[in-house]
Structure 1
Amino acid sequence: MLPFRVVDRVKFIVERQLVKGAGFQLMVVGIFIGLISLIGGLLVVPQGGDFADPGSAVWWAFLRLTDPGYLGDDVGTWQRIVSTLLTISGYVVFMGTLVAILTRWLIAKMADLERGLTPVTLKNHVVVLGWTSQTLPLLCELLSSSGRMRRFLEKHDTQKLNLVVLSEEASAAQVHELRNEPGIGRRSRQVILRSGSAIQPDALHRVACLDASAVIVPSAAYEAGSLITSDVETVKALLSIAAQARQYQAPLPFVVAEIQDIRKLPVVERAYPGAVEVVAGNATISRLMVQNVLHPGLSEIYNELLTAGQGNEIYVRGGESIAGLSLGELASERPGVIVLGLLRCFDRDCDQGCEQGWDVRLAAPSETRIEAGDRVVMMARDYAETDADPKTTALPEISRGDARLSARENKLKGRRILLLGWNRRVPSLMAEFSSYGPGQPVLDIVSVVPISEREHALSRYFTGKPLESYSHIEADYMVEDELRRINPASYDTIILLSSDRLASGEEADARTMVGYLQLEDILTEAPGRPQLIMELSDPDNRDLLYGHQSEMLISPMILSHILAQVALRRELRVVLDELFTVGGAEIGFRDPDHYPLPASTDFHVLEKILAVEGEIALGVFRATADARGRHLMLNPPRRQRLELQPGDRLVVLCQS
């Protein structure tokens, strides 16, 4: 074994001290300053002169080392040489090294502060675990829900909304994104960023999950084939929150969690013993797509009801202040609101929320009396319209009986559907198609993903055959010749799926939009035109395709809206499940010729006529788009003349 050299040993010892931080670095520099002062003092001691003892000489050397102003006071050649060397060493060691250490320490400390490693000291705030494509729309939803948010803050006895976002690496770039987001802007000061992962218990403590009024867990994106999926991370985060609550003997916060695989629902509920609402992301978008296939044009209703911006939203109000009124009386007192129905707790004696679940009664008879424990479901343009206004004139009450169950038309039987693209949502989409019973569609799936990989994903999702008739086509729809060979014009519906295999939503949407434009070129040559449904991942791309003729679903915006609104009013989830699943109440379209409508009618008269059938009028879907490219006129003023034109359809809430 070779012996260690003395120089190497000294270097190693110095290095081990320097890596310990600014304090140890300053200590090492201080030792060097002391050694240089000692050597400089000993060099001038033999000269005698003003130095009564070695200590005075060392002090003389220390002054020259730390302050260059003493350089001109020295006499004698040797003393001036030593003084000059000490002054130069002072510039290098004392001033240069000291400033460098302090500067680096200050920069590191500022970087740590920017990363958000300090635990927040807040209560009754809202926590978002994860920075994903849904985070910015989610924050916009929370900040823009003024009326609903005001009620939420009153419920939790707090004055100001504070949002805390846990990101893998919080940075100034994310703060810049917040400030530039149209729906956030100056309100970005209400958003606090913290670094960490949702599967790390210390990161959950950093955002004060146990003191939050609501915790939202959006689903993160992972590469295909990864052993760590978003659902695994969600379950781990819930387990960590529950463990912290047991450790500190604190109550569990209300959690809204998004999962991708709806089959993990029992696992999530078992992992978290507190109040939790689970939103199945893949299943939700799949339901909307299938409903859109059944009812062409329904995407405009989704984009109004389930995204932020102008238009109507679904609100759920407590029955305490309106108990005793009937649904018909309530509707007449609120002329700007469409009363959709109510929720009634299965446990009628429960005073603290509803742990037994809700009985959803949409399109209920108008004489149904509201009880204090009920939740009334309304559709309005603004939350304030759901409150009584003594200045408004009440409408004549409309009498509506039990909804007549309409047999669902088997529109899927034999329908040829072309899926362009592949993502993790395809198995749940096929499961949604199969849930509509007999008479299933014929599905062709086109993707560059190998067929063996697709079949493997389907076999892991289904125990049997997913659909009676489906086939895989291995092709790239971005190549015009390959797309032409598929003959897209021969299909009834074409769905362009956003890829989850690309690095970002912008790249996925770029591919989807180029494929759509290429598809439009091919369809212009065909005599017939199939229904087109396009899924996008980036909300910023919604306005790029001006004058497009497809129906557009922006998945992150829809899921962000649902997560945010369920966090503010948890009963909303069961309402959306009822509206957008097979059976029960649903939004549909009707031909005006099927009703005895007068030649010129207003919306209030339309409500009366549809009430005879037990249906609720929601609006009109125009055959011709307006100047903004919109076909939908939802919840118009009651006395507004509708002036129905050939091809127009009525938007109704009915029971199927």
Structure 2
Amino acid sequence: MFRLRFIDRLKFFVERQFVKGASYQLLVVVAVIGLISLVGGMLVLPLGEYDEHLGNAVWWAFLRLTDPGYLGDDEGTWRRIVSTWLTVSGYVVFLGALVAIMTRWLIAIMEQLELGLTPVSLKNHIVILGWNNRTVPLLRELVMSTSRVGRFLRERDIKRLQIVVLSEQVSSEQIQLLRQDPGIGRRAKHIILRSGSALQPEALHRVACLQAAAVIIPFQSHEPDSLVTSDVETVKALLSIHAQARERNQPLPYVVTEVEDVRKFSVASRAYPGPLEVVAGDATISRLVAQNIIHPGLSELYGELLTAHEGNELYLRPAAPYAGLAITEVEARCPDAIMFGLMRPDAAGELHARLNVPSDEVLTPQDTLVLMARSFDETEPRAHAVSDRRVHRIAAVEEDTPGVQSKRLLILGWNRRVPAIITELASYDDYDFDVDLVSIVPASARIADISRYSDNAARVACQHIEADYMVEGELRRLQPGRYDSIVLLCSDRLSSGEEADARAIVGYLVLDEILQDQQVKPQILLELSDPANEDLLERNSSETIISSMILSHMLSQVTLRRELRLVYDELFTAQGAEILFNDPDDYHLRAAASFGEFEVKAGAVGETALGICRSQPNAHGKRLQLNPPRGKAMDLLPGDQLVVLTTL
């Protein structure tokens, strides 16, 4: 039998000790130092200068091994030879090996700390489970929502907002990305990154999920044909949080999650019995696309109401201090805000959003006011009513429908939201849509996806065309000028959102070139995933929906004020209140009429006046002016439209 040599066995033993870590490596070095000291002591012991005591000789050798300064004290050729050997060995073993081991150990500790594997010691913080293209917009929306964050902190008696993000792999690029973001900037120091997956219970413990004030589970992108979808990961994360809370006998935290497929609502609710708000990502964007097709011009309104940038947002305020007053009396005390509606519990205590409420509606202590304003402070009712603001809004009167309207729609591109868009279009009974779907995805796969999604989608006539809309010849043969609306969708089959946006933008430029000589151009709606790409189009006559930004805003706002989800659901569905763009002649207004006069005229027909949509954009490219000053003349020009909230 083959036997290893002694030196091989020794090398193997040393190797096994070194791979065990720094502590074992130090023990090996200590053993080698001891062995060298022993050998050195034994070599000088015969000189007879150490009282024939081996310990003294070994100590002499150890001093030469660790401190070269003793080298000059030795006399005699043999002792100097041994002393020199010990000093050189000390440089190699004592200094070299020891410093190398300690340095590697410190570097390993620093790398481990940088990986974010240490559990956080926080309470009442916000946890985001996942890092993707929506994480930075979500963080930006959270830190920029100052009024809602202030209320969020006061309710939990904490001084500042702390956010923990769970990422598959923490890197310095992520930290730099947060610091360079104009909306986050210095506030990045309050954002903590931790490594791990939402599917791992130890990773959930690492971000202290059970101690969090709120947990956000955003959408996680996957390959189109992957069996593990974002909804699967979401349900698994909900089950893991529930199991952890049950094991440790702790209460379940408040969770806000994005579900890709609206049909998974009930599954998510069964998986998590705690406080849960579910935002249907694909269904939400599909609703916005459908409404924008029916009411052109809404995309700019989405960009203002559903982002935390300059402009108006929706705010909620308790109505208890004003119980017994009519809506018109509270409106008169809020000259800088618009009364959007209210939220009221039913007999079972379940909240319902009611928008475009009549002015004579009397408030109850359980009501919550929904107001649109530029800041939360502007929603604070004054002590005394403003005498020149008395809006008398009647109950919306059901008008005779003009019949079924036909719309020809061209959809360029394909992603997972198309079946939801078709289903949403089918929910509008007053419209008959004729849709042409253009994509390089095989028509059979598209037909199967739509039929699997919903039976109602069959109401919409869809013609599937296999073509690449980026090829000008193929797009020109479609005669895009004959459609009422054209939608360009960013693909989810590419490796990154940047590539998908680049393809959609190039497609828009090709389409714009074809329609250049068209006198009456169709409405063009462009979907992008990255808000930075919108600025690439210097001359953009289309409407743009930034899906990631809108969903990030909704997730952040529902996290800070969960009742807002009911308002969004009421506002952006076929059965709820609708935002319309009407002709000023419908209200018999003068061009120099003020917005206050428009409020009165709109209220007389059961509508809530919201603002003005100009026919020509201003210097910043904006056409929409929401909540303008009430006493100032609107200076209406031909082509201008008035924006109202109504109930159909």
* Alignment TM class, shorter chain as reference: over 0.9
| 8 Å CA contact 2:423, 2:456 repeated in 1 | no
Quote how far apart the aligned CAs of 1:406 are. 4.4
> 5+ unaligned residues in a row in structure 2: which ranges?
none
Change (3 A) 1:519 1:104: same
| 1:122 and 2:122 matched | yes
Aligned equivalent of 2:602: 610
| 1:313 and 2:313 matched | yes
Taking the TM superposition and a 5 Å limit, the aligned residue runs for 1:465-480 are 466-480=458-472
| 8 Å CA contact 1:512, 1:536 repeated in 2 | yes
The Cα offsets for residues 516-574 of structure 1, whole Å up to 9 and x where unpaired, read as 11221121144442111111111222222123111001111100110111111111111
Letter in 1 for 2:579: I
Letter in 1 for 2:639: G
Question: Partners in 2 of 1:158 and 1:449 — Cα distance?
Answer: 51
Of 444, 449, 474, 1:482 maps to 474
Residue 39 of structure 2 aligns to a residue whose secondary structure is helix
| 8 Å CA contact 1:212, 1:253 repeated in 2 | yes
Aligned equivalent of 1:106: 106
Letter in 2 for 1:300: E
| 8 Å CA contact 2:17, 2:28 repeated in 1 | yes
Residue 221 of structure 1 aligns to a residue whose secondary structure is coil
Aligned equivalent of 1:250: 250
Quote how far apart the aligned CAs of 1:210 are. 1.4
Question: Partners in 1 of 2:513 and 2:483 — Cα distance?
Answer: 16
C-alpha RMSD of the superposition: 1.9
Question: Partners in 2 of 1:400 and 1:245 — Cα distance?
Answer: 49
Question: Partners in 2 of 1:452 and 1:488 — Cα distance?
Answer: 23
Residue 440 of structure 1 aligns to a residue whose secondary structure is strand
> 5+ unaligned residues in a row in structure 1: which ranges?
349-355
Quote how far apart the aligned CAs of 1:267 are. 0.2
The Cα offsets for residues 193-212 of structure 1, whole Å up to 9 and x where unpaired, read as 11111111111111111111
Quote how far apart the aligned CAs of 1:437 are. 3.3
| 8 Å CA contact 1:29, 1:98 repeated in 2 | yes
Aligned equivalent of 2:439: 447
Taking the TM superposition and a 5 Å limit, the aligned residue runs for 1:85-104 are 85-104=85-104
Of 366, 379, 383, 1:386 maps to 379
Residue 250 of structure 1 aligns to a residue whose secondary structure is coil
Aligned equivalent of 2:393: 400
TM-score under structure 2 normalisation? 0.96
Question: Partners in 1 of 2:117 and 2:646 — Cα distance?
Answer: 52
Question: Partners in 2 of 1:412 and 1:48 — Cα distance?
Answer: 115
Of 357, 360, 363, 1:367 maps to 360
Aligned equivalent of 1:347: 347
Quote how far apart the aligned CAs of 1:464 are. 7.3
Question: Partners in 1 of 2:459 and 2:44 — Cα distance?
Answer: 97
Change (3 A) 1:21 1:467: farther
Question: Partners in 2 of 1:467 and 1:97 — Cα distance?
Answer: 77
Taking the TM superposition and a 5 Å limit, the aligned residue runs for 1:516-527 are 516-527=508-519
Residue correspondences, number? 648
Quote how far apart the aligned CAs of 1:594 are. 1.3
Aligned equivalent of 1:352: none
The Cα offsets for residues 255-294 of structure 1, whole Å up to 9 and x where unpaired, read as 1110100000000011111111100000000000010000
| 8 Å CA contact 1:130, 1:165 repeated in 2 | yes
Quote how far apart the aligned CAs of 1:466 are. 4.0
Question: Partners in 2 of 1:578 and 1:132 — Cα distance?
Answer: 29
| 8 Å CA contact 1:333, 1:394 repeated in 2 | no
Quote how far apart the aligned CAs of 1:84 are. 1.9
| 8 Å CA contact 2:405, 2:430 repeated in 1 | no
Letter in 2 for 1:195: S
Change (3 A) 1:455 1:90: farther
Taking the TM superposition and a 5 Å limit, the aligned residue runs for 1:71-470 are 71-347=71-347, 356-390=349-383, 393-406=386-399, 413=406, 415-437=407-429, 439-463=431-455, 466-470=458-462
The Cα offsets for residues 216-244 of structure 1, whole Å up to 9 and x where unpaired, read as 11111111111211111111111111112
Residue 535 of structure 2 aligns to a residue whose secondary structure is coil
Residue 335 of structure 1 aligns to a residue whose secondary structure is coil
Residue 279 of structure 1 aligns to a residue whose secondary structure is strand
Question: Partners in 1 of 2:252 and 2:637 — Cα distance?
Answer: 55
Quote how far apart the aligned CAs of 1:584 are. 2.6
The Cα offsets for residues 452-480 of structure 1, whole Å up to 9 and x where unpaired, read as 43334334323576454212222222222
Of 569, 577, 598, 1:577 maps to 569
The Cα offsets for residues 81-129 of structure 1, whole Å up to 9 and x where unpaired, read as 2222222221121111111111111111111112221222211111111
Change (3 A) 1:378 1:32: same
| 8 Å CA contact 2:422, 2:457 repeated in 1 | no
Residue 421 of structure 2 aligns to a residue whose secondary structure is helix
Question: Partners in 1 of 2:404 and 2:622 — Cα distance?
Answer: 25
Aligned equivalent of 1:353: none
Residue 536 of structure 2 aligns to a residue whose secondary structure is coil
Change (3 A) 1:155 1:405: farther
Letter in 2 for 1:397: R
Residue 589 of structure 1 aligns to a residue whose secondary structure is strand
The Cα offsets for residues 64-97 of structure 1, whole Å up to 9 and x where unpaired, read as 2211222222222232222222222211211111
Quote how far apart the aligned CAs of 1:31 are. 1.1
The Cα offsets for residues 352-395 of structure 1, whole Å up to 9 and x where unpaired, read as xxxx4323221111111111111111100101111134598454
Aligned equivalent of 1:652: 644
Aligned equivalent of 1:531: 523
Residue 330 of structure 1 aligns to a residue whose secondary structure is helix
TM-score under structure 1 normalisation? 0.95
| 1:493 and 2:485 matched | yes
The Cα offsets for residues 158-205 of structure 1, whole Å up to 9 and x where unpaired, read as 221111111111222211111111001111111111111111111111
